[in-house]
Structure 1
């Protein structure tokens, strides 16, 4: 009987020997050129930004994504950016994004972190509060036209992320570093925007917050039990104006589904994703690449009307929602002097 010889001409045996001797052959992925092969509509559907807007972003971060060599099938900056945007837009598993992009999942993980950090570095360029008197007055006027509320901008605070936006849904300030167990008021009290208002940097300007916040001279909250016509008008105006940031979150979550479905990334990378998504949102607004999704289901017009009619305010925290002191007195004075005369 002949002994089994691994060197027999049998093709399968030869391949097994090669695997043992040399290891698995290197896998070369075929990458699709989505930027060129997709039309504008199909491209925007998959990456949530127009081609022009993506090119604008690429010009700003290209130097952070370029490899120092052009060998070993390195991934181009545009493919890195599109891979990251695909992850933002779907919120799917890394393996799904890897299959879509034609890459190994480990490459996708590194790319998402690299691109996210590069975009987040643009924060100071694209996310800022008004810098001069003209900008402040313009922001105040835009909010006044919503529901007649005299202010310069409004704020809404959710879980571990504090956001301030203007009337056009442009993000003006983001704080994304606190754990979900942190109270909203704690986040605000330790934020730079709180310090700025305490220093009276923005004179004659107001923030609007929900009823989970203490009322201050510059931060007005809704009334829990409005009694007079002027108090009802104040609450109605407050709710309609503060709804701006609710619509902002609706736009953000529809554009970048990772913000709606949750992230499987490391905590630090996830916080950078929030900032990066905010930067991309503002770039899109600046490029007039704006979506107009419907209001979130829990805040549609019908529900909003019912809240106003019933005098009920969402996000009530009964422990601190009826503030005392100077803030409450100023709020009542504001109602009596302005809303009583409407």
Structure 2
């Protein structure tokens, strides 16, 4: 109902023909497509409409939502939001100053007409390599869905809006956590490749435990929107269209979190498999840190935030909320990026 009210003005039929689809019908058709996978036949049969009407509805609703992407996907830079995010991340595995966690995931698609070999990923299927940054609540703060499946995670990060946000005047605000696919920097922490000391081992364990949140976020996102999951089939659309679908699904994912409306299946998943795995990783990290003793704990015993220092560092960021949605457009950064406008 909220989506219908949000899109009412744009999707209201401009004709008095009885067969014109209502706003509710268009939204339902689109959400069904996102939730069930890449094929429209099931939607056509269920709603008793033509394939063309189904395609048109999906296109209209998707475009309308896409125009509102910056209202739902943004990187908070206010003092209160940063403190809340960093404090919650700290409770996971004692890793301080964390503003978000970053990773990439593959979204399969049909073979494009031009340079299909660039879209073949390491797993052998054609896809987009999508970068996501999420906070402690699994809310997506940044998405970059412009690059083909063969693109490396670190390359996508360098071309995204993230470095510009966390470098220069904002360099000391916070940092992100990534996996071994990323290089260490002043604003991105990644695992050490050959840890030897107790402090280095503890650093890796704490980082790995905290990073499970992004894995959980990707799992929930693909469970909610099965069209993004490879098991749901291959999206029969161009890379430009698939990129828009990804951004809109991330927007809807955040909308659900903002309204605190988890699905029953997700709740069951969190209670069973994924939450158990995440809890086990975190518990193992705490046990290893405890066994080494408080004197060798790499990240301190019981961290408390120096509030004045946090306020000072956050103030340097301007205290604003910055939209962080990267999307396709004319580009000159190389042949590895989609060059068509969305």
Same fold (TM over 0.5): yes
- CA distance in 2: counterparts of 1:191 and 1:76, whole angstroms: 38
- CA distance in 2: counterparts of 1:267 and 1:341, whole angstroms: 46
- CA distance in 1: counterparts of 2:296 and 2:63, whole angstroms: 48
Picking from 256, 279, 284, the partner of 1:284 is 256
Equivalence for 1:137: 83
Q: Which has the higher contact order (CA 8 A, sep 6+)?
A: 2
Equivalence for 1:192: 161
Equivalence for 1:78: 24
Within 5 Å, which residues of 2 pair with 1:54-65?
55-65=1-11
| Greater than 3 Å deviation, 4+ residue runs | 295-300, 302-306
- CA distance in 1: counterparts of 2:59 and 2:35, whole angstroms: 15
- Alignment check: 8 A CA contact 2:94 2:299 kept: no
- Alignment check: 8 A CA contact 1:229 1:340 kept: no
1:339 aligns with 2:303: no
1:158 aligns with 2:117: no
- CA distance in 1: counterparts of 2:275 and 2:137, whole angstroms: 18
Equivalence for 2:332: none
- CA distance in 1: counterparts of 2:243 and 2:5, whole angstroms: 23
1:131 positional shift: 3.0
Picking from 178, 189, 204, the partner of 1:209 is 178
| Count of residues in correspondence between the two structures | 262
Paired residue secondary structure (2:17): coil
Computed over aligned residues only, the root mean square deviation of the Cα atoms, in angstroms, reads: 2.6
Residue by residue, what CA displacement relative to the aligned partner does 1:267-293 show, whole Å, maximum 9, x if unpaired? Answer: 222111111111111111111111335
1:130 positional shift: 0.9
- CA distance in 2: counterparts of 1:94 and 1:340, whole angstroms: 51
**Structure 2 residues not aligned, in runs of 5+:** 107-128, 286-294, 302-342
Within 5 Å, which residues of 2 pair with 1:301-316?
301=277, 305=281
Within 5 Å, which residues of 2 pair with 1:4-83?
55-83=1-29
C-alpha change, 1:101 and 1:202, in structure 2 (3 Å) is farther
C-alpha change, 1:290 and 1:78, in structure 2 (3 Å) is same
1:228 positional shift: 2.1
Pair member with larger Rg: 1
Within 5 Å, which residues of 2 pair with 1:61-140?
61-140=7-86
- CA distance in 1: counterparts of 2:297 and 2:212, whole angstroms: 21
C-alpha change, 1:341 and 1:288, in structure 2 (3 Å) is closer
C-alpha change, 1:62 and 1:193, in structure 2 (3 Å) is same
* TM-score, normalisation: structure 2: 0.70
- CA distance in 1: counterparts of 2:157 and 2:296, whole angstroms: 28
- CA distance in 1: counterparts of 2:77 and 2:145, whole angstroms: 22
C-alpha change, 1:168 and 1:305, in structure 2 (3 Å) is closer
